[in-house]
């Protein structure tokens, strides 16, 4: 047989049914605690990380490592490069959109380079037609001699004057032109001695200045074509460019350097506390640390959590483990500790998580904002209806009084 209920329990039951309680403030606090716990459970693993199986893994602040977390996450490995123990990066591999500085040391045309219209040739011929000093005037004397500058016309011919005529030389090398002129003059002269040289032996375009690596991995060398340099080191790119210029420049020698390291970058990602994330991209010069990365964004944001900062290092697709390195911001900034002031490598993501209370506050604001709007419309509509009703009542009351 069940015992009879006491008067205190009966009063609690009645107060629960009526919505009142002798200790309403305590009940409200209990209800608020239950509501907050429910929201946190609905949020899922907010302060945890997920492993490759989709499960939640405890954060490294709790100093608990599992098989799904790298040892670097919880323990500061002495082999990792950091402040006071930095390493040199490997040879730079050129990728788009790097900017290369290419300087050609010499720009002489090769002897086998074909002659094109506009080129100037210095031609001298010995044993030409004899000059009659008594009868020939100055102009005739000049026509009988071949000694001077002759420009290749747009038709590809050089004109040796009215005495010797014209002959086509475009597309020929200097040695070929010399033989061609000698054979041509044998029709007029017995044993002509011909000498031919370029007036301006320099190449038509000097390779010098900034060169952007295009999306297809090539750099433009102007009239000399393109050279594919993506995926090469500087020495390999130098050899490739010199090979491209070999058919246009005699014994080419170039100097190749990187002017802008646009392809090797790292990222600083700041959490907005439930209001999105901001990503900043910076070129990696090989000497940056975590402190330098935070300085590039002008310090930590106001919503940042100083205890939730880490570096996410990219890993191959076959590696199922996350390479996470926790950062002790207080130790770096206040104590000058170099243990977690890691050296930034190309591709690193420096993540700055927002304070969890701010994230939770933003979540509550998003959750309650629709209801606030609905209640606001309801109150506005209710107030409008009451105002109209009161206006009608006043009009009716004034009408009866006048009657």
Structural domains of the chain ordered from first start:
60-88+264-357 (3.10.560.10), 99-106+206-260 (3.30.1950.10), 120-198 (3.30.1950)
Higher-scoring residue by pLDDT: 260, 12: 260
Range scoring the smallest mean pLDDT among 78-82, 124-128, 391-395, 399-403? 399-403
- What's the pLDDT at 391? 76
Q: Which two tokens stand for residue 329?
A: 């911001």
Measured CA distances, 379 to 109, 373, 382, 388, 389 (Å): 88, 10, 5, 14, 15
**Tokens 């004397």, residue located:** 141
* Closest by Cα among 147, 197, 195 to 173: 197
Measured distance CA(119)–CA(152) in Å, rounded: 6
Predicted confidence at residue 399, as pLDDT, reads: 55
pLDDT score for 258: 94
More confident residue, 3 or 223: 223
The three-state DSSP-derived secondary structure of the chain is CCCCCCHHHHHHHHHHHHCCCCCHHHHHHHHHHHHHHHHHHHHCCCCCEECCCCCEECCHHHCCCCCCECHHHHCCCCCCCECCECCCCCCCCCCCCCEEEEEECCCECCCCCCCCCCCEEEEEEECCCCCCCCCCCHHHHHHHCCEEEEECCCCCEEECCCCCCEEECCCCCHHHHHHHHHHHHCCCCCCCEEEEEECCCECCCCCEEEEECCCCCEEECHHHCEEECCCCCHHHHHHHHHHHHCCCCCCCCEEEEEEECCCCEEEEEEECCCCCEEEEEEECCCCCEHHHHHHHCCCCCCCEEEEEEEEEECCCCCCCCEEEEECCHHHHHCCCCCCCCEECCCCCEEEEEECHHHHHHHHHHHHHHHHHHHHHHHHHHHHHHHHHHHHHHHHHHHHHHHC
Please state the rounded mean pLDDT for residues 327-336: 94
Give the model's confidence band at 47: pLDDT under 50 very low, under 70 low, under 90 confident, else very high: very low
pLDDT, tens digit (0-9, with 9 covering 90-100), for 132-188: 777 778 888 888 888 899 999 999 999 988 888 899 999 999 999 999 999 998 888
- Please tell me the distance from the alpha carbon of residue 287 to that of residue 266, in angstroms, as a whole number: 12
């Amino acid at each position: 047989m069940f015992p009879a209920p006491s008067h205190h329990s009966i009063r609690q039951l009645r107060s629960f049914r009526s919505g009142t309680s002798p200790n309403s403030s305590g009940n409200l606090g209990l209800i608020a605690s239950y509501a907050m716990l429910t929201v946190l459970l609905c949020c899922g693993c907010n302060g945890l990380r997920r492993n490759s199986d989709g499960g939640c893994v405890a954060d490294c602040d709790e100093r608990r490592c599992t098989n799904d977390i790298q040892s670097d996450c919880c323990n500061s490995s002495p082999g990792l490069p950091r402040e006071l123990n930095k390493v040199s990066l490997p040879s730079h591999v050129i990728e788009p959109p790097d900017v290369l500085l290419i300087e050609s040391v010499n720009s002489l045309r090769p002897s086998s380079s074909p002659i094109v219209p506009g080129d100037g040739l210095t031609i001298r011929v010995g044993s030409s037609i004899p000059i009659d000093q008594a009868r020939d005037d100055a102009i005739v004397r000049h026509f009988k001699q071949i000694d001077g500058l002759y420009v290749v016309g747009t038709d590809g011919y050089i004109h040796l004057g009215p005495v010797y005529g014209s002959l086509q030389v475009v597309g020929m090398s200097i040695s070929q032109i010399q033989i061609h002129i000698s054979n041509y003059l044998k029709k007029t002269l017995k044993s002509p001695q011909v000498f031919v040289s370029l007036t301006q032996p320099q190449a038509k375009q000097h390779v010098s200045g900034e060169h952007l690596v295009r999306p297809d991995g090539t750099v433009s060398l102007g009239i000399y074509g393109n050279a594919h340099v993506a995926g090469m080191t500087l020495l390999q790119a130098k050899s490739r460019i010199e090979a491209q210029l070999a058919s246009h420049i005699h014994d080419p020698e170039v100097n190749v350097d990187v002017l802008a390291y646009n392809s090797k970058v790292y990222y600083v990602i700041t959490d907005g506390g439930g209001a999105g994330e901001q990503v900043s991209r910076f070129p990696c010069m090989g000497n940056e640390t975590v402190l330098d990365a935070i300085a590039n964004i002008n310090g930590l944001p106001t919503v940042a959590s100083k205890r939730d900062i880490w570096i996410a290092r990219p890993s191959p697709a076959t590696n199922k483990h996350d390479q996470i390195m926790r950062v002790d911001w207080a130790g770096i900034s206040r104590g000058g500790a170099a243990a977690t002031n890691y050296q930034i490598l190309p591709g690193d993501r420096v993540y700055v998580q927002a304070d969890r209370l701010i994230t939770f506050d933003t979540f509550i604001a998003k959750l309650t904002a629709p209801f606030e709007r609905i209640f606001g419309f309801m109150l506005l509509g209710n107030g409008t209806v009451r105002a109209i009703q009161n206006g009608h009542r006043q009009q009716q009351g004034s009408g009866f009084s006048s009657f």
